[in-house]
Amino acid sequence: MGFAIAIDGPAGAGKSTIAKAAAARLGAVYVDTGAMYRTIALYLLRTGTDCEDTEALSRALSQIEIRLGYEDGLQQMYLNGENVTGLIRTEEVSRMASISSSKKEVRASLLKLQRDMAKSQDVLMDGRDIGTKILPDAQLKIFLTASADVRAKRRYLEQQEKGVECTLEEIKADIIERDYRDMHREESPLCQAEDAVLVDTSDLTLEESIETIVQLADSRRARRVITAETAGFCFGVRRAVETCYEEAQKGRKPIYTFGPIIHNEQVVSDLEKKGVRVIASEEELSEITEGTVIIRSHGVGRSIYQQIERQGLTLVDATCPFVKKIHKIVKEKSEQGWEILIIGSADHPEVQGICGWISGKVQVIATEEEARAFKTSEDAKICVVSQTTFDSKKFSKIVEIIKNLRYYYTDILNTICNATEERQAEARKLAQNCDAMIVIGGRHSSNTQKLYEICRSECEQTFYIQSLVDFDVSLLPSSGCVGITAGASTPNNLIEEVSHQCLK
């Protein structure tokens, strides 16, 4: 979502005039949702559709195609291809729009169109339920109103200018009636969203009203923070950490993890306080005589399972199921005589664990140069797998090189897990659209390092932080958009704390 401003309020508060001018000053697209309801109303009037007849209404709605366009910055409404902008401001249409907009079928028919408009651009959208229903996550919500007397006077003067005969009393009665209908209807009644700013324009000039909105938007826009949805713990890591906490709660001490459960010192030390200790090496493991050993999500080779069993220890396997699948593949393939080529970092525990399931030949490569230099016997059957957290773009490039080496049999299995790909793709997209990026994760976390590389290639101001300690908010630009993503072992609370700091 871009920067979204939702303006709601009763009829005649000057919403459209104020919103249009404010949008132009803020460089946002102005979306007048009332015009959409008016366009539907025009169709209903033209076809003589009875709004109370649900079937007829639904049928009519299914025949309407509404489109918005912009000419010289002004919103144009298209009804089944016809530009009806000039036809939807009559009193007759106003009345029909007021009635038909209370129908749930009518509202539902516009929901997607309205939401989609805010997906990829900065918008200033006005209506009755924008802050409460259409864009509940809008960065700024305004409830724009004025007293019924002031609104009636403004409308009366407008009508006089147009030469329309009417009295002030009639207009006021009409305004009160429409307010009542908008506020008391069952579907999306007009009301001020809890987090909306109330702007009463009764005593403000037009210029002052516009200025109020521009200033509110500027202060909200000063620094925007967007956290990637895929930031943080992936499924495998969350499962492993939860397993540790569950084991600690069972209270059957001592409990160990073979290697730190995740690359995050805070989580490791919290677990330590709960009695979960880290075994750093195979030697340390060989000295343990009782208790439970938890295998972390990275997985380990077969020999570690055997050692734990030999020593009579309880084994709790929290290996990520995606890694476990690779173990199975390489075990079976190598037993069948295939040579295994792992695309990943040779010194990464996950890769070392995978190697521990291979009975035949194995090579590990991580770069295109290494791929070009790859050699084995001509008749070798090569099974290629990847570290689950490997960069998918790099993987494709390396695979292309391997394919071009033209070995007789190559079976290429992309075992990069979706969570990593999704996190990387989202980080790349976010970095392309942000003025600064923060990547949170341990220095030794390879997936965080990769996220950093990706973000840095798209956004020059990318910061790699491990915790709040090495985070200097003053380095961030004071305005614009700051994106946050985090490696698979970064806990949620840390991501939230960083996000809060950014907004201070």
* Shortest reach from residue 204's CB to ligand DC, in Å: 19
Q: How far apart are the first and last CA of the chain?
A: 22
- Residue 351's alpha-carbon distances to 143, 288, 370, 406, 496, in angstroms, are 56, 25, 16, 25, 31
* 128 contributes a contact to ligand DC by CB under 6 A: yes
Shortest CB 102 distance to ligand DC, Å: 7
Under the binding rule (CB under 6 A), the answer on residue 489 touching ligand DC is no
| Closest by Cα among 228, 229, 222, 234 to 484 | 228
Question: Looking up tokens 């880290």, which residue turns up?
Answer: 278
Shortest separation between residue 126's beta carbon and ligand DC, angstroms: 7
Residue placing its CB nearer to ligand DC in the complex, 79 or 399: 79
- Residues facing 456 on adjacent strands: none
Contact 426, 229 (CB under 8 A): yes
Q: At closest approach, how far in Å is the CB of 60 from ligand DC?
A: 16
Span interacting with ligand DC, options 121-129, 158-166, 200-208, 303-311, rule CB under 6 A: 121-129
Which token pair is 378? 């001509």
Asked if 14 touches ligand DC (CB under 6 A), the answer is no
Single residue of 97, 237, 285, 329 touching ligand DC by CB under 6 A? 97
Asked if residue 9 binds ligand DC (CB under 6 A), the reply is no
Nearer to ligand DC, 128 or 221 (CB): 128
Residue 292 interacting with ligand DC (CB under 6 A): no
Q: Which two tokens stand for residue 20?
A: 């249009």
**Which DSSP category does 309 fall into?**
H
How far, in Å, CA of 302 to CA of 114, rounded? Answer: 56
Angle between helices 54-62 and 104-117 (to 10 degrees): 30
Q: Taking contact as CB under 6 A, which single stretch among the options 127-135, 320-328, 359-367, 407-415 is the one that binds ligand DC?
A: 127-135
Map the footprint of ligand DC across residues 16-45, applying CB under 6 A: 33-35, 37-38
Tokens of residue 56, six digits = 């007829």
Of the residues 13, 23, 57, 127, which one makes contact with ligand DC according to CB under 6 A = 127
Task: Please confirm, yes or no, whether 229 is among the known catalytic residues.
Answer: no
Residue 243 φ then ψ, to 5°: -60, -45
131 binds ligand DC (CB under 6 A): no
Binding to ligand DC (CB under 6 A) within 170-189 occurs at 182
CB of 182 to ligand DC, least distance (A): 6
Amino acid identity at 86: G
Residues in region 422-481 near ligand DC by CB under 6 A: none
Task: Please state, in angstroms and rounded to a whole number, the distance separating the CA atoms of residues 479 and 436.
Answer: 10
Which of the residues 247, 339, 350, 421 is marked catalytic?
350
DSSP per-residue letters across 196-224? PEEEE-TT--HHHHHHHHHHHHHHHHSSE
Segment interacting with ligand DC, rule: CB under 6 A, options 62-70, 126-134, 209-217, 436-444: 126-134
Question: Of 66-74, 97-105, 269-277, 472-480, which part binds ligand DC (CB under 6 A)?
Answer: 97-105
**Quick one: which of 39, 101, 230, 446 contacts ligand DC (CB under 6 A)?**
101
**Residue 436 bridge partners (DSSP):** 482
**Residue 201 binds ligand DC (CB under 6 A):** no
Size of the site for ligand DC (CB under 6 A): 14
Residue 34 has, within 13 A of its CA and on its CB side, a CA count of: 24
Q: Does 98 bind ligand DC (CB under 6 A)?
A: yes
Least spacing, CB of residue 106 vs ligand DC, in Å: 9
Q: Which of 68, 122, 123, 129 binds ligand DC (CB under 6 A)?
A: 129
Q: Residue 212: which residues within 8 A CB-CB, separation 6 or more?
A: 199, 204
CB burial class (10 A; 0-12, 13-18, 19+) of residue 293? Answer: buried
Residue ranges binding ligand DC (CB under 6 A): 11, 33-35, 37-38, 97-98, 101, 127-130, 182
Cite the active site residues. 350
